[in-house]
Amino acid sequence: MAYRLGDEETAAQAVRRSAEEQLDRAIAELTERIERDPVEAIHAARKALKMERSLLRLARGGIKPAVRRRENEAFRDVGRRLSKTRDADVMAHALDDLANRYAGQLPQKAFASIREYFEERGRGARDSLIASGVLADVTDELRAARLRVQSWRLRGKGWNVIGEGLTSTYRRGRRAFKDAKADPTVERLHEWRKRAKDHWYHLRLLQPLAPGTMCGQAEDAHRLADLLGDDHDLAVLREELHKAEPGFAVDVHSVIALLDHRRAQLQAEAVILAERLYAEKPKAFTRRIHAYWKAWREETRTGRAQHPAQLADLTRQPAAA
């Protein structure tokens, strides 16, 4: 199923199903796709793990804190073990975007030389990862986690499973936005990026509550996460260029100047978008989504009552005396 609530599901069922599906996805990427396309397989596996951790944050009201911390740490550690090979690929991609956007500003050989460095580093990291046996260990850990999902004791079934987590994540995102806007350090922008991704994943899961309204909000959150993600990739690229600068026979300073210019554009666009996305205070935001939830549940119940099979059952009931 898609990463969203099903009409016949409780919140607890949706969380459990989505958790299992994301782990299945990560396992499949690291076992079936890794040889064919290692770059995309590792990227997709890490994305599935991020969505898994976001589910834990959403369901914080229904999962015992000790269980949530245990699972979050397990998924975080697996993601980190996969991250080194991904970092070089991300920087090569960020450099390509920069070269395409500012074509003609610098000789293409400047970008090509730097890209070759990151490509070689990425290949080395992937080869080392595959040869090390880490992927087999990681896959075993994910399979064990997949079995543990069934043992999660989710307290409650309805709104109380997700309401607390939804409020907490929105509040953290709103605070991270204000902090980054006031002082846009790499660390603060990265923290905001993580919270923006959580908000996107949660809106995506809850989109069936009010598709016409929440679809647009989910798209805004997705766009915000992408803007902040692109900014973070460029920030990491900038740091790596400084470290490796003596080894390049090109004008790295000019590349960094274009990089800084692009980062300023991305951050400005992110702030404008976030002003709308985080316009509501946390309690008001949660009240609105809760109202959508109640209306959606009522609509679902009404739809079931009008199901043809159920209507047939009603006609077969004996007439009231």
Counts for the chain of helices (H) and strands (E), in that order:
11, 0
Q: Tell whether 77 is covered by a domain.
A: yes
Is 133 within 8 Å of 266 (Cβ atoms)? no
Q: How many domains does the chain have?
A: 2
Q: Which of 93, 127, 155 is the last residue of a domain?
A: 155
Q: Tell whether 315 is covered by a domain.
A: no
Q: Tell whether 43 is covered by a domain.
A: yes
Whether residues 163 and 202 fall in one domain: yes
Instruction: Please write the tens of the pLDDT for every residue from 90-125.
Output: 888 888 898 889 888 888 887 888 888 888 888 888
Instruction: Please write the tens of the pLDDT for every residue from 127-149.
Output: 888 888 889 999 999 999 999 99
Is 239 within 8 Å of 232 (Cβ atoms)? no
Calpha distance 12→18 (Å, rounded): 10
Q: Which domain holds residue 147?
A: 8-155
Whether residues 62 and 42 fall in one domain: yes
Per-residue model confidence (pLDDT) at position 310: 54
Per-residue model confidence (pLDDT) at position 47: 94
Cα 5 to its chain centre, rounded Å, is: 17
Whether residues 293 and 244 fall in one domain: yes
For residues 126 and 137, the model is more confident at: 137
Is 99 within 8 Å of 260 (Cβ atoms)? no
Per-residue model confidence (pLDDT) at position 311: 46
Whether residues 109 and 192 fall in one domain: no
Q: Tell whether 306 is covered by a domain.
A: no
The whole-model pTM stands at 0.88
Whether residues 57 and 150 fall in one domain: yes
Whether residues 202 and 117 fall in one domain: no
Give me 265's structure tokens.
């554009």
- Long-range (24+ apart) CB contacts under 8 A made by 132-140 are 134/81, 135/30, 135/34, 138/30, 138/78, 138/81, 138/82, 139/27, 139/30, 139/31
Whether residues 16 and 122 fall in one domain: yes
Whether residues 293 and 231 fall in one domain: yes
Segment 63-79 mean pLDDT: 94
Calpha distance 89→125 (Å, rounded): 10
Cα–Cα distances in angstroms (integers) from residue 3 to residues 13, 51, 54, 254, 307, in the given order: 12, 9, 12, 42, 25
Whether residues 32 and 137 fall in one domain: yes
